[in-house]
Chain A
Amino acid sequence: MPDPKDELHHLFQAAGHTGPDRDLTDHIMARVAVTPLLRPTPVKPILGRGAWIGIIIMTVVVLVWGLLGSGHAEATGGPVSEALRTISATLPATGNWALWLAGLSASLLVLAAVDRALARRHRSA
């Protein structure tokens, strides 16, 4: 806060406000009378918490099924099995797939958090 003993501060206080030449209330109120009040619309996240949890569970299930059930998939030989075989082959055979899953789940959680943060920011703007 400024020092009240300050010379410049005193000058500003002594000079006061620079008022308009006329009272603007009537002009402003005439414009306000034809201006609608804007009500902020509530914004929901694109995907709700349930949808995100569902996606994560589904992804984990598909990946686990693909890795553990790759032997059965070879037997059926359909396009889904082919895709699962490809995923299984891409992952390292040394058992690091658990790290991949953890990373994937973490990424999805981060995305969900970002989505919610953006929605909250939009609401408060």
Chain B
Amino acid sequence: MDHSSIIQRILAGDSRAYAELVRHYQRMVYTVCYRILRNTEEAEEATQDSFVKAYQHLAGFGGNAKFSTWLYSIAYRTAISQGRKRRTEDTSLDELPHHPASAPDTTGHRNELRQLLDHALARLDPEDASILSFYHLEELSVEEIVTITGLGASNVKVRLHRARKKLLDVIQATHGPEAQRLILEHA
């Protein structure tokens, strides 16, 4: 996808061209928001807010970083800020909603894996869960995660290491050999 030509069109006044970027990135942005907020409605709201903010400030996107990194950084900050606002409500882990399978390409098996991962990630600190997602799902480098989160490189590495260990422990404790079977079946 040629982002620069789409951005040029938008900046020239063709705001409808933005729909192409929205379609391409909404699942990625939603995943970032959902990892932090763990609530489908709030994640949808944060996704919409992130895209509107990104549109507003598109002229300020200098092209020094990748567009996706820039967009993820807006989504990350929007979700963190939204999460802080609602922190007054004390949601226990048992009350966390399970995300329904909805994507058209979602198979039963993939859905099972996603539920397993969602459930395990819900036991982690939201910021750690999103850092793990950036690293393992989006396959971003530590430097890119530093740009998105504003954390130091050593802090990101420590969080990654700690979160990986905790996630594996949680998966082992809650699913045991079942998790191993699910992952291997998909391989």
Q: Identify the A interface with B (CB < 8 A).
A: 1-2, 6-25, 27-29, 31-33, 35-40, 124-125
Contact = CB atoms under 8 A, between A and B. Distances in A.
B183 A38 contact: no
Nearest to A7: B183
Interface of B: 10-11, 15-16, 18-19, 22-23, 26-28, 30-31, 34-35, 40, 43-44, 47-48, 51-52, 55-60, 62, 99-100, 102-103, 105, 110, 113-114, 116-118, 132-133, 135-137, 139, 141, 164, 167-168, 171, 179, 183, 186-187
Given A19-B102, A21-B100, A14 B136 contact: no
A21 B18 contact: no
Given A24-B44, A37-B58, A39-B59, A15 B110 contact: yes
Contacts of B116: 11, 15
B99 A14 contact: no
B11 A37 contact: yes
Given A11-B179, A24-B22, 15 more contacts: A12-B132, A16-B105, A16-B137, A17-B28, A18-B31, A18-B34, A20-B26, A20-B30, A20-B47, A24-B51, A25-B22, A27-B48, A33-B15, A37-B56, A38-B59
Contacts of A124: 62
Contact of A25 (B19, B34, B59, B113): B19
A22 B113 CA distance: 21
Contacts of B26: 19-20, 23-25, 28
B114 A15 contact: yes
B22 A29 contact: yes
Given A12-B133, A15-B113, A28 B51 contact: yes
Contacts of A7: 168, 183
Contacts of B135: 2
Contact of A40 (B40, B59, B179): B59
